[in-house]
Amino acid sequence: MNCDRAKSLLSAHLDGELDAVNDRDLQEHLRACTACQREEDQLRVLQRMIRSDAPRHRAAEGLTARVRTSLRNAAANAEAPEKPLPQHAPERRRWLWQWGFSAAAIAAAVVAAWIGSTVTARRAAADYETEELISAHVRSLLADHLTDVPSSDQHTVKPWFAGKVDFAPPVRDLSAQGFPLIGGRLDYVWGQAVAALVFQRNKHVINVFVWPPPAGTAAPEPTLTRRGYNMVAWKQGELTLCAVSDLNLTELQQFAGEYRGQ
Amino acid sequence: MSGDERTARFEQAFLCHLDAAYNLARWLTRSAQDAEDLVQKSFLRAFEHYDSFRGDSPRAWLLAIVRNACYSHLRRRAPSGETAEFDERIHSPETSAGDPEAVALREFDGKRLAEALEDLPDEYREALVLRELEEMSYKEIAAVLGIPIGTVMSRLNRGRDRLRACLAGEAAKEPRR
């Protein structure tokens, strides 16, 4: 093992995250190389310093209580429509009108609040998902990590996902339609593993994210444009697919149509 | 599962990670007030999406949401791309870390170390905070940052090199006490 290679592995060695084979080779190198030994010592000191001197910020006293309260409120709002409205049984007829009016007003207010909160919640959730998908797309371009399995052969890409995700993503060969397959990648969105299939249209990269939506989630917005990126989403069997690209929307929709087999 | 039960389960799984959430938000935003607001928002968001949580690390899942909220917040606040970029001229030492003159790490007090960490580019700072302060595994860090484990390794490597270089650079420039 040379020094460059050894240096690139030192951090993982220090963190106890290096595999056995590399770790053995590295230790062998360290025994022979004082420069790398010194490097290791410095990193060790640095690690101790960070742990002892950089503050792990602690939340202020009241934050837990505030979070709890807001969770309870959110839960109560979510349940509001299921709770029966207070039953009013006016004994005297002349009160009936008054009660009738106020009950109707309460009902209207509750329904309006409920619709408002679910619509906002859904929109917030959808926004969040959209942002995450765009981030994943951008990340794949920036981090120089477009594919884990670079291949234009669907029969190579599809089996690659076996054992990495617990579903089989549909992979299409659309090179005849002008959308050649570049490969596949395992990505993390919302902290969960999703399959990403990478296609190209001229100089534009198209990421197709595939995941099984959790039960009870709303269907994705069919098309969306955000920050210059276009997204086209659809359902295919049990899976949700979403194509993200800076390609123009018309061509991306054409791509999605071909992908679905229409 | 009733609503109360769902809330109770959620609280049990996630409230114990409130400090971790706050710590990450505080290091990313550099503001106690922003961190508190973002933690509160992130918990609500996690609660909304609780049904879709299937991973094995509630902490990693929550922190991924916190991180996303922090970056959205920072982007909104600095839309013109004025988030601090790493500037080699400012941050790099005049002497290399390998120079025998350069490194006397022990002479630094905690404040300067914290400042150096705060000055690191986001991608290195977040990886180091998760590793050193939250003591997370590479796998968990990979899940929070949405990057492969190999990238976690190289980010930590480079982050530590830069941190060390910053400190060593200061050592070379400033008189010893």
Tens of pLDDT, residues A76-112: 877 655 444 444 444 445 555 555 556 666 676 666 6
Give residue A115's pLDDT band: very low, low, confident or very high (50, 70, 90).
Answer: low
Residue B19, classed as helix, strand or coil, is helix
C-alpha separations of A228 from A205, A225, A249, B28 in Å: 14, 6, 10, 26
Name the residue with higher pLDDT: A225 or A216. Answer: A225
Over residues A174-179, the mean pLDDT reads 93
Domain shared by B95 and B72, yes or no: no
pLDDT number for residue B94: 39
Domain shared by B44 and B92, yes or no: no
In whole angstroms, what is the distance from residue B61 CA to residue B54 CA?
Answer: 9
Is B164 inside a domain boundary?
A: yes
- The domain that contains B150 carries what CATH number? 1.10.10.10
Query: Which site among B66, B96, B156 would you substitute to test the A interface, given the most A Cβ atoms closer than 10 Å to its Cβ?
Result: B156
**A24, two tokens:** 């053995």
Full strand arrangement of the beta sheet holding A223-226? A149-150, A181-189, A192-201, A204-211, A239-245, A229-236, A223-226
| ipTM of the complex in this document | 0.77
Is B115 inside a domain boundary?
A: yes
> A53–B113: do the CB atoms touch at under 8 Å?
yes
- Flag whether residue A60 sits within 8 Å of chain B, measured between CB atoms: yes
For residue A29, which of A21, B115, B94 has the smallest C-alpha distance? Answer: A21
- Flag whether residue A68 sits within 8 Å of chain B, measured between CB atoms: yes
Instruction: State the nearest Cα–Cα gap between B127 and chain A, in angstroms.
Output: 12
Mean pLDDT of chain B: 80
Q: For residue A17, give the nearest of B11, B108, B138 by CB distance.
A: B138
Name the residue with higher pLDDT: B92 or A192. Answer: A192
The fold adopted by the segment(s) A124-260 is Phosphorylase Kinase; domain 1 (3.30.200)
- Flag whether residue A187 sits within 8 Å of chain B, measured between CB atoms: yes
Over residues A17-29, the mean pLDDT reads 91
**Lowest-confidence range among A49-58, A120-129, A138-147, B63-72?**
A120-129
For residue A198, which of A181, A186, A212, A211 has the smallest C-alpha distance? Answer: A181
Nearest CA in chain A to B30: A57
Domain membership of residue B154 as a residue range: 88-173
Is B82 inside a domain boundary?
A: no
Q: Is the pLDDT of residue B83 over 60?
A: no
**B126, two tokens:** 């977040």
Q: Rounded to the nearest 5°, which phi and psi values hold at A67?
A: -60, -45
pTM for the whole structure: 0.54
Tokens 């920050």 locate to A227
Residues 81-140 of B with CB under 8 A from A: 97-98, 103, 105-106, 108-111, 113-114, 117, 128, 131-134, 137-138
- The domain that contains B48 carries what CATH number? 1.10.1740.10
Over residues A14-38, the mean pLDDT reads 91
pLDDT number for residue B32: 93
Nearest CA in chain A to B131: A15
Instruction: State the nearest Cα–Cα gap between A84 and chain B, in angstroms.
Output: 15
Q: What is the 3-state secondary structure (H, E, C) of A217-259?
A: CCCCCCEEEECCEEEEEEEECCEEEEEEECCCHHHHHHHHHHH
